[in-house]
Chain A
């Protein structure tokens, strides 16, 4: 039983950090490497690996050491730790792919103080358990790495008509996609796509929950809401006439479309529908 609970706990944190609260697509952290540096697949893979090597150990070390330090010292410790971890990365890269160091320029050292590392290591890690910190940093880094690699590959394919040095069958190139403009546009659409999926899933759940309410209750609730809407319109029309002193004028400037719909959770008469939505939210939170 305990084993199952532990697995559920781990998968919850992992999914939360990787998917529902993706550091780049939802939280907007570590945008610099994604929009500015990840313009080719090779660069994207190198950035993702270096980010993982820097962020995961820094978070774990900060979890162990950060608890004992004062709050103002934590960012300093995180930055120095990640700086020291960059040294072996640079040494290995210097041996394996010296060109990539030149290609990335200042963007490789900048990874030391990227907002994910600083946030994870200085703010999140010291206040959590070691397991929680480890899973969170691994999931967060994987979340960023996936985005970096996807965007880098897409930019290289469309911007340079090649992928990993292999030329693609089309000759149309859009070099502008290799600039920060392209990175921002790709990121915006990827982020909107993820949010769209969340909205679709939530919408389906709400639809299912509302459909599970008996028809008679739904009808009664709809009638009540229509009545309230009608009263609201009349009240606003009267008030406007009183204020403007144009009681005889037909157009008051107020239209039904200007008024908020009553079929929402603020209306106490529609307890069933609001209850269904809140139930879905609770279920989502639990899952």
Chain B
């Protein structure tokens, strides 16, 4: 029982108080871009969860090997990028062969989902705090959920923008940034970041 409740609390923490997008500001441009198409949000968030999980699992053994060396801080990012490259290549070839229709439907969403700061930051952050394999995988899944939450909240800004009396210069991106800043402030309040 303790195990379940502890992990549930941990997951809530990673989604709400240490949200990779809203609390740390990682992958903000990707979230904004994804939130423009509400219909795609579950698909993109699902892809990001799966890809984060894969990158976390595949990068973990590598980080154990690299952490011993002095040059790890220099080499690790390149090695992780090569792993992401492998994930992208395998998923592209695999989907093109076994599910060509789905690959066609995904279109540019696949490279967009693989090569973004959120998926790349997951193994880097796991490595930074030296998480074990299970925690790394759990963090990756929670990151995907956190991404979905952030994107869903940001996607509501279009409704707000159409109703609010925004000055001409603020219309579009500046208004959206102010809106996101307010959400970030709220999340900082939840996490206790404001004293």
Contacts and interface: CB of A to CB of B under 8 A. Distances in A.
Interface in A71-89: 72, 75-76, 79-80, 83-84, 86-87
A115 B30 contact: yes
The majority secondary structure among interface residues of chain B is helix
B29 A112 contact: no
B156 interface: no
Nearest to A105: B128
Contacts of A181: 181, 184-185, 188
A137 to B, nearest CB: 18
B121 A106 contact: yes
A255 B84 CA distance: 59
A119 to B, nearest CB: 10
Nearest to A29: B29
B74 A87 contact: yes
A183 B22 CA distance: 12
Nearest to A78: B115
Given A114-B117, A181-B181, A36 B25 contact: yes
Interface in A121-149: 122
Contacts, number: 140
Nearest to B114: A75
Taking each of A30, A75, A189, A196, which has the highest tally of chain B beta carbons within 10 Å of its own beta carbon?
A: A75
Interface stretch (B10-18, B135-143, B157-165, B167-175): B167-175
B154 to A, nearest CB: 11
B84 to A, nearest CB: 7
Interface residues of B, number: 53
Given A106-B124, A109-B77, A199-B168, A32 B85 contact: no
A101 interface: yes
B186 to A, nearest CB: 10
Contacts of A106: 26, 121, 124-125, 128
Contact of A199 (B23, B92, B124, B169): B169
A91 B89 contact: no
A76 B120 contact: no
A59 B124 CA distance: 25
B194 A176 contact: yes
Interface string B1-40: 0000000000000000000001111111110110000000
Contacts of A192: 167, 169-170, 174
Contacts of A180: 22-25, 28, 184
A195 B114 CA distance: 32
Interface string A158-193: 000000000000000000100111011101110111
A36 B85 contact: no
A75 B115 contact: yes
A84 B74 CA distance: 10
B193 A179 contact: yes
Nearest to A176: B194
A28 B24 contact: no
25 contacts: A25-B173, A26-B173, A28-B33, A29-B29, A32-B26, A35-B25, A72-B92, A79-B115, A80-B81, A80-B85, A83-B81, A87-B78, A94-B73, A110-B121, A176-B188, A179-B184, A179-B188, A184-B177, A185-B178, A188-B175, A188-B178, A191-B177, A192-B169, A193-B169, A199-B169
Given A184-B25, A188-B178, A192-B169, 13 more contacts: A28-B33, A35-B25, A36-B26, A36-B28, A72-B92, A76-B88, A76-B89, A87-B78, A106-B121, A109-B124, A112-B77, A181-B184, A192-B167
Interface of B: 22-30, 32-33, 73-78, 80-82, 84-85, 88-89, 92, 111, 114-117, 120-121, 124-125, 128, 167-175, 177-178, 180-181, 184-185, 188, 193-194
